[in-house]
Chain A
Amino acid sequence: MVKVEFLGPINKDSLELEINNLSQLSEILKSDEDVSTWLETCAVAINDTLVSSKDVDLKDGDKISLLPPVCGG
């Protein structure tokens, strides 16, 4: 089971999913109308480290975060 959290303005409760990789997550989120429009602009972190490729294996207990466009200051 991995936890998926949606940060900032996405405004969606986190999900607990039985998935093994980010391609599976992509398929699930593309069919979720609350999130699908955010996917193009969201960065992805696994266990609080940003990743730049979908080619990552997930393990039980991993935390995935979606980070939409930022504007501090």
Chain B
Amino acid sequence: MIMNEKLILCDGPLDVNEINSKWYDEFKNSNYGAIITFVGVVRDENSIDGLSFDIYEPILKSWFEAWQNKAKQKNAIVLMAHSKGDVLNHESSYIAAVCSPKRRVALEMIDEFVEDFKAQAPIWKYDIIKGKRVYAEDRSTIINGAGILK
């Protein structure tokens, strides 16, 4: 499913070349001097067959819109694509990109954008082990402000 051209969510692995070229074709004429793309690839480790993801789309969308507003203040834009469901080893589940007039803004923003995504975006990861989904609890981050119901 495509929400808009800047935030893409799709079932299964991402077609990285298609998404990258779509973004490049769309934004190269917008006078951005720097387009920086981060692509996450599922690694073969710990005997997993791949990863699987759940996404809570309403809060992901508002998180992304807040980032878009933040980027706009520096005349930049952010782009993101993520998988839902299963993504096998050596396929891709995540792309983040920043387009900006100047390279320094893009280089700094891609770091902050990816790290904040890791800490706050409402996405849950599971290892696929022998066909079962096992929550990646030890790699997960508690969202800021959690624990008010304890």
Task: Show the binding face of A for B, using Cβ within 8 Å.
Answer: 7-9, 22, 25-26, 29-30, 39-45, 48-54, 65-73
Per the CB 8 Å criterion, the residue count for chain B at the interface is: 37
Query: Which stretch (B15-23, B29-37, B101-109, B119-127) binds chain A?
Result: B119-127
CA distance A9 to B56 in the complex (A): 12
Closest 6 CB pairs of A and B: A8-B124, A72-B123, A69-B140, A43-B143, A52-B145, A9-B135
- Measured CB to CB, the closest approach of chain A to B124, in angstroms, equals 3
Whether A69 pairs with B123 at a CB distance below 8 angstroms is no
Whether A71 pairs with B146 at a CB distance below 8 angstroms is no
**Which residues of chain B are within 8 angstroms of A70 by Cβ–Cβ distance?**
119-124, 140-141, 143
List CB contacts (< 8 Å) of B89-114 with chain A: 93-94, 114
**Which residues of chain A are within 8 angstroms of B131 by Cβ–Cβ distance?**
none
Whether A68 pairs with B94 at a CB distance below 8 angstroms is no
Selected A-B contacts with CB under 8 Å, 19 pairs = A7-B122, A8-B54, A9-B137, A22-B149, A26-B150, A40-B150, A42-B149, A50-B145, A53-B148, A66-B149, A67-B59, A68-B140, A69-B137, A69-B146, A70-B119, A70-B141, A71-B118, A71-B136, A71-B139
Whether B117 pairs with A43 at a CB distance below 8 angstroms is no
Chain B 30-68: CB-based contact to A (< 8 A → 1; otherwise 0): 000000000010000000000001111011001000000
**Which residues of chain A are within 8 angstroms of B117 by Cβ–Cβ distance?**
72-73
**Which residues of chain B are within 8 angstroms of A40 by Cβ–Cβ distance?**
146-147, 150
Whether A73 pairs with B40 at a CB distance below 8 angstroms is yes
Whether A29 pairs with B82 at a CB distance below 8 angstroms is no
The answer to whether B144 has its CB under 8 Å from any CB of chain A is: yes
- Measured CB to CB, the closest approach of chain B to A40, in angstroms, equals 4
**B134 to chain A: closest residue by CB:** A9
- Measured CB to CB, the closest approach of chain B to A42, in angstroms, equals 6
**Which residues of chain B are within 8 angstroms of A73 by Cβ–Cβ distance?**
40, 82, 93-94, 114, 117-118, 123, 125
